């Protein structure tokens, strides 16, 4: 086999990693390098992110240890039956690359995943070894996100959490049937079992850190997961239900949604139809409704159409408001924050500003207009000192009136 240079390997393995969306680096505790010991600390300047136009995080060196894999997940370009160029880094090569890139200021940390070579345990050991070299030999205090392998020994998964800021296990598909069909080597119970183990270890480490100053950190930025949105495996209602269950059961920091995008040499088992990217966006919006807008999962699911899919032409918050018109209009001068959060077109920041302003004066429509992208879209749902919609919420053409024409309505307009 031809020997590849590190650069050639990087070309192959960085490209192979681009399909994983779960790489945001938010929420980590800072490791400090006080006393001039160690490098890469984010203390004092925070971790900043850069996102590519398609929403993927680019501030980390995002790479696979190898794209060889003994599994055959149909949606994955690295599956064993895929005809792609293969490469494999050693843990030391990845550690050296990370440090070299870090010193050039290209990156702030590492997102490391891997195909499964030899066995899950062996692969997990290689991932851990990379993180160990970085932390112990290079004294690297920057951000490390390790993708962990649910089939690996629980002790190894635990060791990964001692080096990484964030750990993640991909749940892959929202339903067990979808997983069985598209990732036959994976097991839903094993995936959730490993997530449960991480949740416990994270909680125990947090608890220990409150009692012992030098208690070892364990994945201080928590765990996340990624769900692949494939056209015919689950509808949005099922995806929302699965995500909300994962947040509750495993205290996940984030669920990332990744609309399946066509891969070279795609498996014949995959549906021909690719889901529109806007569907991924609507799922992220529904996720925000649950995490920041106080919507119960069942309420977000109510925003879906009869086929269980969220509308693509309007955001889920507007879809919910149009279905539950009897809850509107909301008086911006009197309504509690929970109800203001339901108003389409008003974001969390705008609402906090409105609440702060109304302590001093009675708000007019102009006051709201200054805080939103389009007051025309908010108007039917609110009451102000000088504005009350007359039967607007009863109009049959309300949806057409408030739906964005070509531009998408800003759910989080602030």
Q: Which stretch binds ligand SF4 (CB under 6 A): 72-80, 237-245, 320-328, 369-377?
A: 72-80
- When asked if residue 373 is in the footprint of ligand SF4 (CB under 6 A), the reply is no
- How many residues touch ligand SF4 (CB under 6 A)? 9
- When asked if residue 21 is in the footprint of ligand SF4 (CB under 6 A), the reply is no
Q: Which of 116, 128, 144, 351 binds ligand SF4 (CB under 6 A)?
A: 116
Q: Give the residue with the Cβ less far from ligand SF4, 31 or 147.
A: 147
- When asked if residue 270 is in the footprint of ligand SF4 (CB under 6 A), the reply is no
Rg (CA), the chain: 24
Q: Which of 10, 12, 63, 76 binds ligand SF4 (CB under 6 A)?
A: 76
Q: Which of 69, 112, 202, 234 binds ligand SF4 (CB under 6 A)?
A: 69
- When asked if residue 282 is in the footprint of ligand SF4 (CB under 6 A), the reply is no
**Window 162 to 221, contacts with ligand SF4 (CB under 6 A):** 183
Q: Give the residue with the Cβ less far from ligand SF4, 74 or 166.
A: 74
Q: Which of 79, 86, 317, 342 binds ligand SF4 (CB under 6 A)?
A: 79
- When asked if residue 63 is in the footprint of ligand SF4 (CB under 6 A), the reply is no
- CB 113, min distance to ligand SF4, A: 8
- When asked if residue 71 is in the footprint of ligand SF4 (CB under 6 A), the reply is yes
Residues at the site binding ligand SF4, with contacts judged by CB under 6 A: 69, 71, 73, 76, 78-79, 115-116, 183
């Amino acid at each position: 086999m031809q020997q590849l240079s590190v650069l050639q390997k990087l070309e192959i393995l960085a490209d192979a990693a681009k399909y994983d969306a779960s790489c945001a680096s938010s929420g980590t505790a800072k490791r400090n390098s006080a006393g001039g010991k160690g490098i890469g600390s984010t203390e004092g300047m925070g971790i900043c992110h850069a996102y590519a136009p398609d929403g993927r995080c680019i501030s980390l060196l995002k790479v696979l240890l190898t794209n060889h894999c003994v599994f055959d997940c149909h949606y994955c370009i690295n599956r064993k039956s895929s005809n792609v160029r293969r490469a494999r880094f050693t843990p030391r090569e990845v550690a050296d690359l990370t440090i070299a890139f870090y010193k050039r200021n290209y990156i702030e940390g590492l997102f490391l995943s891997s195909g499964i070579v030899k066995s899950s345990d062996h692969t997990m050991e290689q991932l851990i070894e990379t993180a160990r070299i970085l932390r112990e030999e290079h004294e690297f205090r920057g951000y490390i996100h390790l993708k962990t392998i649910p089939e690996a020994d629980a002790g190894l998964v635990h060791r990964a959490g001692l080096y990484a800021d964030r750990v993640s296990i991909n749940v892959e598909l929202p339903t067990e049937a979808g997983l069985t069909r598209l990732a036959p080597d994976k097991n839903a119970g094993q995936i959730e079992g490993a997530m449960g183990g991480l949740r416990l270890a994270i909680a125990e480490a947090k608890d220990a850190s409150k009692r012992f100053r030098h208690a070892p950190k364990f994945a201080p930025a928590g765990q996340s997961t990624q769900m692949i949105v494939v056209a015919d495996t689950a509808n949005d209602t099922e995806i929302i239900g699965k995500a909300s269950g994962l947040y509750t059961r495993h205290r996940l920091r984030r669920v990332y949604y990744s609309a399946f995008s066509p891969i070279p040499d795609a498996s014949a088992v995959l549906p021909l139809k690719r889901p529109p990217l806007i569907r991924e966006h609507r799922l992220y919006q529904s996720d925000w409704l649950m995490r920041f807008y106080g919507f119960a999962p069942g309420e977000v699911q109510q925003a879906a159409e009869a086929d269980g899919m969220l509308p693509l032409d309007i955001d889920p918050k507007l879809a919910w408001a149009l279905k539950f018109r009897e809850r509107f209009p909301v008086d911006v001068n009197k309504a509690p924050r929970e109800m203001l959060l339901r108003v389409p077109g008003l974001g969390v920041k705008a609402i906090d500003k409105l609440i702060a302003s109304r302590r001093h004066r009675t708000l007019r429509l102009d006051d709201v207009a200054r805080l939103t992208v389009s007051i025309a879209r908010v108007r039917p749902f609110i009451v102000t000192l000088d504005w009350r919609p007359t039967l607007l919420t009863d109009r049959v053409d309300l949806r057409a009136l408030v739906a964005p024409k070509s531009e998408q309505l800003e759910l989080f307009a602030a």
